[in-house]
Amino acid sequence: MSANAFALSAVGRRQLLEWPIRVTTALFCQSLGNFPPSFGYATAASSGAGSAAAKQDDDGKKAQGDSPATRLLIDPIFRLHTTGRNHPERPERVDAVTRALGEAELLPKLGRIARRAAVDNELLLCHTPEYVKLVKREIAAGARMLSTGDTAVSGKSLEVALEAAGGLLNAVDAVVGRKAKNAFCVVRPPGHHATPDRGMGFCIFNNIAIAARYAQKKHGIGKVLIADWDVHHGNGTQDAFYRDGSVFFFSTHQSPWYPGTGKTWETGAGAGRGTTLNAPFPAGAGRVEIVGTFRNKLVKLANEFKPDLVMISAGFDSRMGDPLGKFTLDDQDFADLTGIMLEIAEQHAGGRLVSVLEGGYNLEGLGAAAASHVQALARG
């Protein structure tokens, strides 16, 4: 990839985001150099929902013929959620992952996931009707921050958030439908802090929670395991399933740290008692603590729980050098964490695993860690 492809001035970036989406897509795909011409916002939008579904089916047939182990959801639309100058959760995060995957020569080896917008009934699998209405109302009114918490928004944020959630549902369809063994979804905004009735922590909709419920409702999946290695506790995902024994939520995270939840004694309630496991660690924790906990605790619990689908909230702000965390994981650690999750999926879920991007704010570190994650998925 040309170094000049992303070397835009601040003014240039603003102009790029203001151009029609068709132009943004063309520039993004040109800089990437590996996506087919049909892959992009303009094609999907102009073809309608029926054509998008047909494209997904065609992609699935191609994937079965070529037998890619891993499929990727990545699209320029995820750049269009703008959060303000100097905000850590910024459009360049998508560029960083794209560049790293290209430099690692992974893009030609991966199948594709078509994006689509989630509809209200899908959002309501996790969120309350009142909260969905609030998001729509406040973004339409020009809000720059959701009233429910610290989540910056802009004119395109609702559209992009719907695409993030819906794209993950397409990934579930592909993996559960055996069109691929696993998938990685490079979406933004992230989702794991969004509770059923509150957006917070840069998150609007809880992408992974919606996807877990969707897998159960549409595909009849019984048990879902969600593992979250983001440096911040996935409080929204925990809240969504705290009283539900069909979804096991496991989290390693820095503590004390934002959002202040994820204590060891938070283990679920009612029917969900015992299906939440939190492993908080102090600043400076790294491979010994985090990879060790995945291997020594999660594997054992997964053997007891026996999930039918494995999902990962892949936050790379737990990597060393991230400005919003103080963990010390390196790229090999993320490969090893991915390997552990693949082993669990292979043993209990027929290999079915779906991963979604959460945090990661050091652009170089984010790209390197994501590439290590995808390399491990592709080997799996």
> Is the pLDDT assigned to residue 165 strictly greater than 90?
yes
Going by pLDDT thresholds of 50, 70 and 90, the confidence category of residue 66 is: low
CATH assignment at residue 264 = 3.40.800.20
**DSSP H/E element including 280:** strand 276-281
- Give me the chain's average pLDDT, please: 87
Task: Please tell me which residue in 81, 127, 192, 193 is annotated as part of the active site.
Answer: 193
Owning domain of residue 367: 3-379
Q: In what order do the strands lie in the sheet with 111-112?
A: 111-112, 70-73, 182-185, 353-357, 309-314, 224-228, 247-254, 276-281
Apex CA 190: angle with CA 300 and CA 154, to 5°? 170
Pairing of strands 182-185, 353-357: parallel
Class of residue 182 by CB neighbours under 10 A (exposed 0-12, middle 13-18, buried 19+): buried
Class of residue 117 by CB neighbours under 10 A (exposed 0-12, middle 13-18, buried 19+): buried
What is the total count of domains within the chain? 1
Q: Which residue has the higher pLDDT, 360 or 50?
A: 360
> Is the pLDDT assigned to residue 13 strictly greater than 70?
no
Going by pLDDT thresholds of 50, 70 and 90, the confidence category of residue 68 is: confident
Model pLDDT for residues 169-213, shown as the tens digit of each residue: 999 999 999 999 999 999 999 999 999 999 999 999 999 999 999
> Is the pLDDT assigned to residue 109 strictly greater than 70?
yes
Going by pLDDT thresholds of 50, 70 and 90, the confidence category of residue 257 is: very high
pLDDT at 100: 98
For 131, 153, 160, 203, 269, the CA distances from 231, given in Å and listed in that order, are 26, 23, 24, 15, 24
Distance spanning both ends of the chain, measured CA to CA: 27
Q: Is position 373 annotated as part of the catalytic site?
A: no
Mean of the pLDDT values across residues 75-82? 98
